[in-house]
């Protein structure tokens, strides 16, 4: 009797995998600039992987089961000139791996009009598949008039915009360390910063300001959903207390189901995965492995497939089909022909 070898599962499209420009100053614990991103807390091996988009990353992708990665520069404070420089460098770097790597444009988070111009430049002239806005604790800045132009550009080019938390600054490290040993600082700050600063407030602000009435086809990706899916009943209860005349025309649930995408960044076990999948339509969930800040294999996706919680078609949507559709990868310039010049 012969034993059949299991058919390997198709490779995954990993969205929102991290990268930093090699020229970005990392700094040290003795930095005199309290507003500088505290990237120095990361292990040197992680920093090396963050900077690499060549053979070393491709090798890790094979071991992780990724057929493609959608790259996002870790959000740090940067003006329009710096963002353009970083985007141009990333675009040039991925050309040799254009079948495996796609890029999201880093946008200046403090200037909506400049962010709109950079998004239009990157997706219009380059092969970028969307943009990333670094957001702070409140996200009130996204209501600035200039960001209306960002939403308009995103709709025009039919690309998503990612809302991703800024990397913690040197000034914020004391709050995370709180007297703990130095060896504890990096894992606590790296993996608790998004959860610590995450709030549905920025989402509520955008909704209540009628952004989605004015931009019904805007697609926003929440990079770190955290507890947001489980707060859906609480948000609905809050909105029920607001007079109908003061609320947007579109119901919140309609916006939640059609304008937002959530990632699996915060999913570490099958129970958390099921909770996420129960709170938003399957076609609004994107697989993320959080490479290289974490190097999770595909075990959670294999476990999800074996659990029978999703049909095979639904599982494939989470694994790669949603990403193909959202980022227009089937028609990407990376397949055949030459890429555009920035």
**Burial status of residue 205 (CB atoms within 10 A of its CB: 0-12, 13-18, 19 or more):** middle
CA separation for the pair 6, 19 (Å, rounded): 34
The confidence score (pLDDT) of residue 21 equals 96
Q: Which residues of the chain have pLDDT under 50?
A: 1-7, 137-140, 333-339
CA separation for the pair 159, 219 (Å, rounded): 7
HSE-up of 237 (CA within 13 Å, CB side)?
5
The confidence score (pLDDT) of residue 333 equals 43
Other beta carbons within 10 angstroms of residue 79's beta carbon come to 13
- In a 3-state reduction of DSSP, which class is residue 184? helix
- 163-193 burial, b for 16+ CB within 10 Å, e for fewer? bbbbbbbbebbeebeeeeeeeebbebbbeeb
CA separation for the pair 90, 106 (Å, rounded): 10
CA separation for the pair 53, 292 (Å, rounded): 11
Helix axes 147-157, 112-125, angle to 10 degrees: 20
DSSP 234-300: HHHHHHHTS-GGGS-SS-HHHHHHHTEEEESTT--SHHHHHHHHHHS-GGGEE----TTTS---SHH
CA separation for the pair 267, 288 (Å, rounded): 9
Residue with tokens 């913690």: 168
- In a 3-state reduction of DSSP, which class is residue 24? coil
CA separation for the pair 6, 124 (Å, rounded): 43
CA separation for the pair 274, 256 (Å, rounded): 18
**Selection from 206, 172, 166, 183 nearest residue 77 by Cα:** 166
**Burial status of residue 15 (CB atoms within 10 A of its CB: 0-12, 13-18, 19 or more):** buried
CA separation for the pair 87, 68 (Å, rounded): 19
CA separation for the pair 285, 187 (Å, rounded): 26
Residue with tokens 């090798």: 59
Is pTM beyond 0.85? Reply is: yes
Radius of gyration of the chain (CA): 20
CA separation for the pair 289, 64 (Å, rounded): 9
The confidence score (pLDDT) of residue 162 equals 97
């Amino acid at each position: 009797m012969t034993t059949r070898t299991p058919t390997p599962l198709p490779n995954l499209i990993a969205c929102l995998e991290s990268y930093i420009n090699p020229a970005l100053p990392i700094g040290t614990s003795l930095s005199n600039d309290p507003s500088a991103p505290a990237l120095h807390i990361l292990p040197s091996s992680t920093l090396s992987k963050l900077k690499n988009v060549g053979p070393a990353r491709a090798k890790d992708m094979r071991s992780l089961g990724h057929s493609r990665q959608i790259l996002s520069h870790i959000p740090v404070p940067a003006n329009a000139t710096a963002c353009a420089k970083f985007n141009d460098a990333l675009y040039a770097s991925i050309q040799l791996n254009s079948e495996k790597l796609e890029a999201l444009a880093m946008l200046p988070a403090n200037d909506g009009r400049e962010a709109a111009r950079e998004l239009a430049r990157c997706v219009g002239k380059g092969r970028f598949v969307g943009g990333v806005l670094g957001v702070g604790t409140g996200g009130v800045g996204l209501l600035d008039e200039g960001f209306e132009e960002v939403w308009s550009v995103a709709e025009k080019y039919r690309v998503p915009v990612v809302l991703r938390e800024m990397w913690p600054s040197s000034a914020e490290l004391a709050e995370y360390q709180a007297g703990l040993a130095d060896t504890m600082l990096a894992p606590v700050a790296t993996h608790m910063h998004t959860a610590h600063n995450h709030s549905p407030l920025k989402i509520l602000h955008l909704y209540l300001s009628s952004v989605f009435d004015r931009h019904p086809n805007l697609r926003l990706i929440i990079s770190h959903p955290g507890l947001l899916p489980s707060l859906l009943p609480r948000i609905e209860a809050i909105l029920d207390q607001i007079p109908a005349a003061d609320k947007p025309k579109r119901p919140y649930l309609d916006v939640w189901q059609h304008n937002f995408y959530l990632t699996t960044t915060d999913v570490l076990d099958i129970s958390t995965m099921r909770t996420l999948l129960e709170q938003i339509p399957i076609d609004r969930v994107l697989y993320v492995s959080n490479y290289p800040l974490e190097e999770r294999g595909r075990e959670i996706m294999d476990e999800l497939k074996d659990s029978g919680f999703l049909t095979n078609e639904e599982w494939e949507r989470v694994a790669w089909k949603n990403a193909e559709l959202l980022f227009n990868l089937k028609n990407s310039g990376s397949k055949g022909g030459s890429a555009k010049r920035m």
